[in-house]
Amino acid sequence: MIRSIIKSTGRYLPDRHVPNEYLSELMETSNDWIVQRTGIEARYWVSEGKDFGTSDLAYEASIIALERAGWHPEDLDLIVFATMTPDVNVPGSGAFLQNRLGAKNVPALDIRQQCTGFLHGLEICDAYIRSEKAQKILLVGAEFQSRYLELTTENRDTAVIFADGAGVVCIEGVESNNDIGIITSILHADGKYSGALRVGMPARKSGKAISPTVMENKEHFPYMEGKTVFKLAVTRLPMVTAELLEKANMKIEDVDMVIPHQANLRINEAFKERMNIPKEKIYNNIQRYGNTTAATIPIALDELMEKNMLKSKDTIMFIGLGAGLTWGGVVYKLP
Ligand code: UT7
């Protein structure tokens, strides 16, 4: 049977380290508030004035992952690029990355899905591999969010959370009779909450174009009903975990490590308590990186691999929830 295994990982954080104290100089907030309400202590942003795009963040992480896999860019059958902050509106960042890597003629597919972009990416890659349409895939989660944040008191809820970064995995199709690789996945969406977290522009809806009025209304900045999203996260993440465990015929005790999306440390703490997960079996790094949206999970996975905190045959559960509303999870067993 063909299984989809993660052959290697890589991550890249940009050069500008931004502690909470910097933000408290720009708006009415404080290190204490940000740490207590989100867990975030610092994040990385791309330096101002640098000619850099999301695909450049992804490139730096990709060359690490490719080298660790022992793959050349032209070996790839597919690039899947999850981002909600592409270099330009059209074409997708996958095309820019493909060109920079020199992955000649390799198809490059951009996906959105925001905080669950990487989870959707895993499911897509698994489908390509199991249907034998691809054997070697580069899956990217990358975001460049700092440049569209409004650094004012009015938009401080989003300004203090979102950050830049990239995480990449090389996924390979291998023949195995063992239960390894991507075991199962469940993804959901509920468009009823599409207004709870959104970036309104650029858009074509209602014939709108970017104009001074649209800019004045700040439709090009992220808008978030934080409390609504928070409440949805603390209820739906345990629900989808129960669904995943049932589908995989497992108990929570069988999971060796949970890697949740990093949106707010309090969400992940509430999830841990609710599911009765010991603290050493759930990984958080939002303290150092903030919320890098599609990149949070692959960055965390890369850190865990680097720190040798995962071993052969460990079972991992990736879970997340975000704009859309979209949420879901993937169960993965290390080969
Ligand atoms: O990855 C994408 C998915 N996104 C999420 O999962 C985000 C989920 N939501 C959250 O993380 C939290 O709702 C926030 C961190 C965004 C906000 O935390 P909260 O505990 O829900 O705060 P709140 O919105 O209820 O605001 C409480 C108070 C308000 O002041 P008043 O009305 O009580 O006087 C806010 O104006 O905190 C104020 N506030 C801030 N104060 C200092 C909001 N943001 C800030 C800030 N600094 N950055």
Encode pLDDT of 193-212 as tens digits: 999 999 888 877 777 777 88
Compute the distance from residue 226 Cα to the ligand 1 centre, in Å: 6
Which residue, judged by its Cα, is nearest atom 16 of ligand 1? 226
21-37: average pLDDT = 97
| Nearest to 148, CA basis, from 200, 196, 109, 205 | 200
What's the angle, vertex CA 60, arms to CA 56 and CA 62, rounded to 5? Answer: 105
What DSSP string describes 176-214?
A: -SSS-EEEEEEEEE-GGGTTSEEE--S--GGG----HHH
Which residue, judged by its Cα, is nearest atom 10 of ligand 1? 226
Which residue, judged by its Cα, is nearest atom 45 of ligand 1? 157
21, 83, 154, 230: which to mutate for ligand 1, most atoms within 8 A of CB? Answer: 230
On average, the pLDDT of the chain sits at 96
Q: What's the confidence (pLDDT) of residue 51?
A: 86
Q: Would residue 291 show up in a list of annotated catalytic residues for this protein?
A: yes
Pairing of strands 136-143, 165-175: antiparallel
Q: pLDDT per residue over 95-105, tens digit each? A: 999 999 999 99
Q: How far apart are CA 333 and CA 231, in angstroms?
A: 30
pLDDT band (50, 70, 90) for residue 213: confident
Using CA atoms of 19, 233, 127, 9 in order, give the dihedral in degrees to the nearest 10.
Answer: 20
Which range, of 118-127, 221-230, 312-321, averages the lowest pLDDT? Answer: 221-230
Q: Is the CB of 222 under 6 A from ligand 1?
A: no
pLDDT at 294 over 90: yes
CA 247 to chain centre: 23
Q: How far apart are CA 81 and CA 173, in angstroms?
A: 18
Q: Is the CB of 233 under 6 A from ligand 1?
A: yes
Q: How far apart are CA 141 and CA 62, in angstroms?
A: 10
25-51: average pLDDT = 95
Q: How far apart are CA 276 and CA 208, in angstroms?
A: 48
Q: Which residues contact 157 (CB under 8 A, 6 or more apart)?
A: 224, 226
CA 246 to chain centre: 25
Q: Is the CB of 158 under 6 A from ligand 1?
A: no
103-132: average pLDDT = 98
Q: pLDDT per residue over 268-284, tens digit each? A: 999 999 999 999 999 99
Of these residues, 261, 264, 268, 284, which one is catalytic? 261
In the numeric block, which tokens belong to residue 197? 């977290």
Query: Model pTM?
Result: 0.96
Q: What's the confidence (pLDDT) of residue 332?
A: 98
Which residue, judged by its Cα, is nearest atom 2 of ligand 1? 322
Determine the atom of ligand 1 nearest the C-alpha atom of 229: 8
Which residue, judged by its Cα, is nearest atom 41 of ligand 1? 29
Angle at which helix 31-38 crosses helix 265-275, to 10 degrees, equals 30
More confident residue, 203 or 123: 123
Of these residues, 20, 115, 264, 284, which one is catalytic? 115
Q: How far apart are CA 86 and CA 323, in angstroms?
A: 16
Compute the distance from residue 224 Cα to the ligand 1 centre, in Å: 10
Q: What's the confidence (pLDDT) of residue 21?
A: 98
Compute the distance from residue 80 Cα to the ligand 1 centre, in Å: 33
Which residue, judged by its Cα, is nearest atom 18 of ligand 1? 37
pLDDT at 239 over 90: yes
pLDDT at 166 over 90: yes
Q: How far apart are CA 304 and CA 314, in angstroms?
A: 12
Q: What's the confidence (pLDDT) of residue 87?
A: 96
Beta strand spans in the chain (E): 2-12, 16-19, 42-45, 78-82, 108-111, 136-143, 165-175, 181-189, 197-199, 222-224, 257-260, 315-322, 326-333
Compute the distance from residue 87 Cα to the ligand 1 centre, in Å: 29
Q: Would residue 308 show up in a list of annotated catalytic residues for this protein?
A: no
pLDDT band (50, 70, 90) for residue 285: very high
